[in-house]
Amino acid sequence: MTTLAIVGAGVMGAAMCLPARDRGHEVRLIGTHLDCEIIENMRATGLHPKLQVVLPEGVGSYHHGAMGEALRGTDLIILGVSSLGVNWAIDRLCEHLTKPIPVVMLTKGMYPETNTLTALPDHVAREVERRTGMTLEIAAVGGPCIAAELAVRRHTGTVIAARKLDLAQRLGALFETAYYHPRASADLVGVEACAAFKNFFAIAVGWAGDNHNAAAIIFVQAISEMMAIIRALGGSDAAVLGMAGVGDLYVTSLAGRNSRLGNYLGQGLTYRQAISGPMRGETIEGADLGIAAAGTLREMMLQGKLAASALPLTRALLAALTGDRTLDLPWADFHRQE
C-alpha cells in the first residue's frame, strides 16, 4: 500500500481518489484555499458537492492549513490544482517538503517563456530545485478523462508520462484498475503540451455548435496545428495521435467549458462578452493558455521556430482571445492536402 496526498479537492483531484482507494492506497485529499467549503462538506457528509459522489471510505480530508501534517509520511503527491494555481502549489511544496517525494501532475498547462513554452512539470521541478535544492521526480497525466465519469468508475484511458519510462510504468501500475487504464510514455513534453493545447483548440471546435460538418473540418485542422506546435516544442507525433492528443481533443470538444466558450464565439460574442456574461466566473483553461502563451507563440513564429502559414487556426484563436474580437475562421487557409 502507498500513502498518497492529492493537493486540490476539485473534481479531478477528487475523482482520482477512486482508483487510488480501489487499489488499497491510503489517500489524503488536501483542499486549496479555494476548497474550504468542499472539505467541510466532505467531512460532514462524505459527499463531494461538485461531483455529487460520496468518495470511498478511507479518504482523509484536510484543509490547506494542515498540508504539512497531511504530507507527513506520504510516498507520492498528486497535484490536482488548476493551471492558475501552479505557483501556489510550488510555494506550498517548497514550504512543506522535507525530502524529495515523486509528484504526479493532473494540472494541464504550459509555462510561457520568452521564446518557448515549458511543460508545467519541468517548471515545477525547476522551481522547487532552485528554491530548496531538492530534485523531484515529476510525471504528468494526460488523455481523455472526464472527472464525473471516472468518479462513477466508467472506463477511462489515460497516459502517464515521465522523462524516465520506468517511473511512468511504476506509477501506472499503482493506479490501474478494471476501469482505469493508464498507458506509460517517456514523452513528457509531448503529452503535457497536448493536454494543454487540446483545451485551446476545443474552443475552435466548439465554435461550430451543432454544425458537425464544420466541426470535423476544424477538428482535423486542430490536429494538424497541434502537431506543428508539439514538434516545435520537442514532443512527438505519437503523442498527438494518441490518447493525450486526438483522444482528449475528441472528449473535450463534446462538452465542457472550452467548447461552450467556442459555441458562444460562434454565436458572435467576443471573448470578453462571453466571460462577462454567460460564462462569468468560470475558469476556461484553453483561453487562459492562449492569452498567457500568445506572446511566446507569436515570437516563435517571428523567429521561424513555428511556421505562421501552417497555423491559421492558432492565429485566429489568439486574435480573438487577446484582441477582443469575434472569432473569424480563415477557412481558405486551412490545410487541404491529404
Q: How far is CA 288 from CA 78, 103, 186, 230, in A?
A: 22, 24, 27, 18
In terms of Cβ atoms closer than 10 Å to its own Cβ (0-12, 13-18, 19+), residue 295 is middle
Concatenated DSSP letters of 180-220 = EEEEEES-HHHHHHHHHHHHHHHHHHHHTTT-HHHHHHHHH
Which DSSP category does 268 fall into? T
| pLDDT classification of 84: cutoffs 50, 70, 90 | confident
pLDDT for residue 115: 86
* Residues 18-66: tens digit of each pLDDT: 999 999 999 999 999 999 999 999 999 999 999 999 999 999 999 999 9
Q: Please give the helix or strand (H or E) that residue 105 lies within, else none.
A: strand 103-105
CB 14 within 8 A of CB 55: yes
b/e 30-62 (16+ beta carbons within 10 angstroms → b): bbbeebeebbebbeeeeebebbebebeeebebb
Hey, is 159 helix, strand or coil? strand
Which DSSP category does 96 fall into? H
C-alpha cell at 84: 492558475
Helices (H) and strands (E) in the chain, counts: 16, 12
* Residues 141-154: tens digit of each pLDDT: 999 999 999 999 99
* Residues 314-328: tens digit of each pLDDT: 999 999 999 989 999
Give yes or no for residue 336 having a pLDDT over 90. Answer: no
Return the CATH number of 3-186, one of 3.40.50.300, 3.40.50.720, 3.30.460.80, 2.40.50.140: 3.40.50.720
* Residues 298-316: tens digit of each pLDDT: 999 999 999 999 999 999 9
CA pair distance 275, 9, nearest whole angstrom: 24
* pTM of the model as a whole: 0.90
pLDDT for residue 337: 66
CA pair distance 290, 287, nearest whole angstrom: 5
Q: Please give the helix or strand (H or E) that residue 258 lies within, else none.
A: helix 257-266
198-333 fold: N-(1-d-carboxylethyl)-l-norvaline Dehydrogenase; domain 2 (1.10.1040)
Contacts of residue 126, Cβ cutoff 8 Å, sequence gap at least 6: 118
Describe the chain by its helix, strand, coil percentages, rounded to 5.
55, 15, 30
Helix axes 188-207, 120-132, angle to 10 degrees: 130
Q: Please give the helix or strand (H or E) that residue 112 lies within, else none.
A: strand 110-112
User: Could you state, in order of their start, the residue ranges of all structural domains in the chain?
Assistant: 3-186, 198-333
CB 31 within 8 A of CB 15: no
Closest CA to 77 of 115, 105, 50: 105
* Residues 247-282: tens digit of each pLDDT: 999 999 998 899 999 999 999 999 999 999 999 988
pLDDT for residue 8: 95
pLDDT for residue 281: 87
Give yes or no for residue 178 having a pLDDT over 90. Answer: yes
Question: How many angstroms separate the most distant Cα atoms in the chain?
Answer: 58
| pLDDT classification of 194: cutoffs 50, 70, 90 | very high
